[in-house]
A and B are shown apart, each in its own frame.
Chain A
């Protein structure tokens, strides 16, 4: 007979054949160049970490790159902590890309900073997310990459955001994203990630307790004997949880309670503990006193800790601690991974930590915080410790929490909001700083896109007696939230009241005025907007507020643009750009002036210059880290591509814009994007999609004011017309026109006018047709340098008077500019008018021209209509185009998609492709998604092979890269 004194330290993984097979298959998939996402879910101690470790080990064995990270409960407030750890982004890294990310995060979190606002730099978070996805993409382009993250339930919000972005943007690359999580806790950020991963086709692996046979094998291996019935019965209380089983065995072994006789192990003379926690406590209770005390202190620092931190907190030397720590490692309570010491499992740390009475824990946390504060420890770490040890009114903890929140605000506003909430929770209601912090927290909520929460936070402060100093910031924040939520009317009221606050600083007053001018523009109050923008400009100049100076310039320019004074709009925006150029650090560009400038140039038909403006915005925004306007930027680019007749490129930009708007909650331009997508679908005769997009666009208007709202109404009217509901279409478009006329939105006459004239004539309303034609002529007269406005005016007049010669002049005017669809429509109108008069000689070239353009645009609906005119007039078509591309396969790719595919085949990453093509990396991703769907492939490797194959077949001499 013998007693078991210890159990085998590292037991083989048991009873997980099915799970291992799933994970091995995931690696096979990555090895073949495809992406895969796996979520491993199960209770603590169930073996998730072992499965992940085995998989990562397998990946390394296959020569794959591995990025492994683990979240920790006490580091939930460290922005990007988990992904930084996984990718090894430290300043000491030998890889300059990783150092750059570490620098970026340090820059965001360093020093005393004021609270961020939507106009300062909430974009740093997006910049960091982009930096991580760029790095992961570059790694994946060089070979399969496996990203494994353990304990997602403790991950910081920014890391979760990054992982969601990785799952979206690394599709089609050889990347495996494997995450482990417990069923609880489950915050909203983790829910969002789980949703994003599910959308990316994640495999959800639920890990349950081991089967009886597997437990028996595990026990047999641990005790090196056949387990007897009594021992197995006792172990069955562990419900197949491998950690519980091994801890029970270890505790029993330590007490010499496992007896082996005749090769059979039995439990003898002891009662098994009722819970895993008590099992762990019982096991470690046999450790030396010094080790126990050290473990208790260490548990205050979390699941893992550095030796210097423990030295600080325990107030003992490393030498003194080394004996105790060595013993803890020997007893398998701690593990040493070289950089940090780590409790072998969260539950072991929890058992020790929770065994401390609450008052003792708090005292230890407080002491730890105070000691760490004496060193160069990060504010977040100090704040976290002090907060856990704080009682009501603890000024020291409140101070550190506030400081940590301000440091975190730029990279992780969610964390800032949480830390401020914690600080506020500690304050007494009478604390003089409480209302200021409440306003600051509301602003953090606003920046994270939690508009409703920000609004509630502001209102609950403003609706009671409050600190007058908090009045202005809270009202401005409320105004922002309402404006971003599409409620400019309510926003204006709050911004106005903010302006009345006596305690407002000069910069705050300027900001309130600046945003009020934007709200007025959205409401169509152009006169009011211009006046307030002027006040904002003066206030901003006095306060040295360069961002508000840009906002004011932008508002004034937009007012002129919407009034149809295009030259004046350009002058104003050029002035604003000059000022932004001269502002220190180009702060003025934190408001994206070049997007407005590009949009004005589009209206002036200066498309090439507009594209340069958009590209300038892309470069400057990248440099300054401004991201919040990305949906509007992409939308503006999409609109330019639409006007230029590059509709496939327009679709890619607009779909990217719409996706990003929904992702970020910045939906101000979503209606415009959807309207443009609806129009393209309509012209391409996809009425179902056109109707859906138009309805969605109009639906956006119901939630508040939106940019270029009239385009949504215009699209809906044209969809109604396509459905044969002419009266409804006319009523809808006439209503839209009247609203524009009432508000002075003269610019929109250009697009609405010709269709309204057509519909008015179809309904027999000649007077309306003449009125509209006159109004468009007025717009053209005010802008004689814009030939397409002359074209619009002539087209309206030609239609109203049924005059083929005037319509011919309209087509000629359009031909001087870049507007392809409008040129085709005017040519068709002129050709139709001539054909009606039997003048087929004049009609034919015009209709041919229209058909050629429609062909190029893939505008099947227009094409069919124009051909019907030809047939009715008995005219044979002179030239025939290619009649559109096929829907799927290699030849369905658009020119841009071909270029993107080619660059992918050359091994370029999305950001580098974006740089080459002057488009955003997100638009590259949209193009790629289209390419993969059309070619029915799932990896970049497959795409590269196809490109090579087609290069070979398209270069008969075999001189291409895929040739001889």
Chain B
């Protein structure tokens, strides 16, 4: 996670495929986010934990 700002957090989440772990594309991917909402939405997207679809405005 690369943070441009801490509070509220703004930056990008770089997703790196790791052997043995499922990953949506299998390639490196960067997801930009703004705010805690954006960060949570980005994490949900990566982990598939909750929410639906991509998080706009992140």
Contacts and interface: CB of A to CB of B under 8 A. Distances in A.
A634 B12 CA distance: 70
A288 B57 CA distance: 12
Contact of B34 (A281, A288, A354, A357): A357
A284 B50 CA distance: 12
Given A354-B8, A356-B34, A357-B5, A288 B52 contact: yes
Contact of B37 (A255, A288, A290, A355): A355
A289 B37 contact: no
A566 B50 CA distance: 90
Question: Among A284, A288, A352, A356, which residue has the most Cβ atoms of chain B within 10 A?
Answer: A356
Question: Among B36, B51, B52, B53, which residue has the most Cβ atoms of chain A within 10 A?
Answer: B36
B6 to A, nearest CB: 11
B50 A281 contact: no
A286 interface: yes
A355 B8 contact: yes
Given A255-B50, A286-B50, A292 B34 contact: no
B55 interface: yes
Interface string B31-58: 0001111001100100000111111110
A354 B8 CA distance: 8
A296 interface: yes
A292 B34 CA distance: 13
Contacts, number: 52
Contacts of B37: 281, 284-285, 292, 296, 352, 355
Contacts of B10: 357
Given A293-B56, A354-B8, A286 B51 contact: yes
A292 B30 CA distance: 21
Interface string A334-357: 000000000000000000101111
Contacts of B40: 281-282, 285
B21 to A, nearest CB: 20
Nearest to B43: A285
Nearest to B5: A357
Interface string A808-848: 00000000000000000000000000000000000000000
B5 A289 contact: no
Contact of A293 (B5, B36, B53, B57): B57
Contacts of B36: 278, 281-282, 285, 355
Contacts of A293: 56-57
B53 A356 contact: no
A917 interface: no
B7 to A, nearest CB: 9
Nearest to B49: A255
Nearest to B4: A357
A308 B58 CA distance: 26
Nearest to B35: A355
Given A292-B37, A355-B8, A357-B5, A285 B57 contact: no
Interface residues of B, number: 18
Nearest to B34: A357
A289 B53 contact: yes
A268 to B, nearest CB: 15
A269 to B, nearest CB: 12
A289 B56 contact: yes
A299 to B, nearest CB: 11
A776 B11 CA distance: 90
A356 B56 contact: no
A357 B5 CA distance: 9
Contacts of B57: 289, 292-293, 296
Interface in A725-739: none
Contact of B54 (A281, A284, A289): A289
Contacts of A278: 36
Contacts of A282: 36, 40
Interface in A286-306: 286, 288-290, 292-293, 296
Given A293-B57, A354-B8, A285 B34 contact: no
A357 B58 CA distance: 11
Contacts of B55: 289, 292
Contacts of A290: 56
B37 to A, nearest CB: 5
A355 B39 CA distance: 10
Nearest to B56: A289
A681 B5 CA distance: 71
Nearest to B36: A281
Contacts of A286: 50-51
A360 interface: yes
A6 to B, nearest CB: 15
Contact of A357 (B8, B53, B56): B8
A510 B24 CA distance: 80
Contacts of B52: 288-289
Interface string A296-327: 10000000000000000000000000000000
B34 A360 contact: yes
A954 to B, nearest CB: 75
A281 B36 CA distance: 7
Contacts of A360: 34
A698 to B, nearest CB: 59
A296 B35 CA distance: 11
A711 B14 CA distance: 85
B8 to A, nearest CB: 5
A451 B54 CA distance: 58
B41 A285 contact: yes
A293 B35 CA distance: 12
B10 to A, nearest CB: 5
Interface of B: 5, 8, 10, 34-37, 40-41, 44, 50-57
Given A278-B36, A289-B54, A355-B36, 5 more contacts: A255-B50, A285-B41, A288-B53, A292-B55, A357-B5
26 contacts: A255-B50, A278-B36, A282-B36, A285-B37, A285-B50, A286-B51, A289-B41, A289-B53, A289-B54, A289-B57, A292-B37, A292-B41, A292-B55, A293-B57, A296-B37, A296-B57, A354-B8, A355-B35, A355-B36, A356-B8, A356-B35, A357-B5, A357-B8, A357-B10, A357-B34, A357-B35
Q: Across chains A and B, which 4 residue pairs bring their CB atoms closest together, nearest first?
A: A355-B35, A285-B40, A281-B36, A289-B56
